Amino acid sequence: MKTTEVGDIPSTDQASVSDTIRIEAAQRMQGLPTQFFASLVKRANAKAAEGHDVINLGQGNPDQPTPPHIVASLQESAANPMYHKYPPFSGYGFLKEAIATRYKEDYGVYLDPETEVAILFGGKTGLVEISQILLNPGDTCLVPDPGYPDYWSGVHLAGAEMTFMPLLEKNNYLPDYEAIPTSTLDRAKLMFLNYPNNPTGAIADEDFYAKTIEFARKHNIVVASDFAYGAIGFDGIRPKSFLELPGAKDVGVEFYTLSKTYNMAGWRVGFALGNAEVIRLINLMQDHYYVSLFGGIQAAAATALTAPQTCVDELVAMYESRRNALYGALARIGWHASPSPGSFFCWLPVPKGYTSTTFADLLLEKAHVVVAPGIGFGTHGEGYVRVGLLSSEARLEEAVERVGRLGLFKG
């Protein structure tokens, strides 16, 4: 017979249901956007677990390793006792200076490292934070459709509302500001832009950014330029930074990340750059959340930014070669689309008779190829699928050949 001594704590399975407190989530946790791509990954993994050779072109995770000189910098920096202590709350000055130097060299943009640069735990963190520091319940945020779904997350957590700006092929996937109702503009306080664009691969030119600055100033709207794919442009075109345009820092900020440029997705290093007041607010919020990144990672990130950029040039050339191989294979099976000018994504129309979801389901089931349904990026993503250039040329071509064998397109 088991006895219980005074002071013994019953195990969970011994406790009665009535002993369990009732957990109620805060209202801000209600109605968070569904992580659409989590289910996509789950289904792809399940198909692979059945023994099928699945080619996953649906995700945006770089497939190449971080360049060796950056890894070596981390290995050396990790042994430095100075970095074993808490770093400065807003990060080390040398890392801010490094990103300022990179922007000066690449885009001719001057940034004050202390007042116009904030270090982020990855770009995604800043893209969620900016809604929380600027939006109140009832305010409106202008969001691209299709667009990166995590913009929605920050707006929801702020209790604000979204108005979607359609990105249409006929407009080169740029928003039409004149189509936004005046009643919406009266409530709008923030606007997200993303070029090179995820998911369409479109890029923006100087004229568009000049119009954006004029529009933002007229309606007192803060611009959040998501420049995550800023280094990746094709056919001799270098994508423009929003901050290159005169007056950009008066109306907004830009978000940059090392994830794509240097294959450092897992390192979680990003920056917010531009308007000093927005940067101050981001740093203020982060003072209450974090004590910045591990110093060794900051040192390695500075190495990435200040070392010769040969690895970046080689990476972009690899993506362009993959893009050309993919579109060549698409043409051979009769799947016609305009080659993407930037990012490592391709935006492809689905064949007649299918939605983006039913087409993606068919490719997974019959061809064992994963693509991302366009509807996951917004209602105007319907009719398209997103394909990532994150596999070798041979695997990209094989994926297209598998699709071709389904006989959905005319060669």
At 122, list the tokens. 């990855």
DSSP conformation class of 406: T
User: What's this model's pTM, rounded to 2 decimal places?
Assistant: 0.93
> Which residues sit opposite 119 in a β-bridge?
271
Pairing state between β 270-274 and 252-257: antiparallel
Tell me the residue type at 171: N
Average pLDDT estimate for 70-97: 97
Tally Cβ neighbours within 10 Å of residue 100.
21
Domains of the chain: 31-60+311-404 (3.90.1150.10), 68-306 (3.40.640.10)
Residues, the chain:
411
pLDDT at 164 over 50: yes
270 vs 254: CA distance, rounded Å? 11
| Average pLDDT of the chain, as a whole number | 94
Average pLDDT estimate for 63-80: 98
pLDDT tens digits along 4-22 = 454 554 555 555 556 889 9
Distances (CA, A) of 61 to 58, 64, 75, 123, 403: 9, 9, 23, 14, 22
Q: Of the ranges 147-151, 194-198, 406-410, which is most confident?
A: 194-198
Distances (CA, A) of 402 to 323, 361, 385: 18, 14, 16
Distances (CA, A) of 358 to 165, 345, 361: 25, 20, 5
> Which residues sit opposite 384 in a β-bridge?
349
pLDDT at 104 over 60: yes
107 vs 99: CA distance, rounded Å? 12
Please check whether residue 128 is in contact with residue 282, taking contact to mean a CB–CB distance below 8 angstroms.
Answer: no
**Terminal-residue alpha carbon distance, the chain:** 78
> Which residues sit opposite 346 in a β-bridge?
387
At 347, list the tokens. 């935006």
pLDDT tens digits along 314-325 = 999 999 999 999
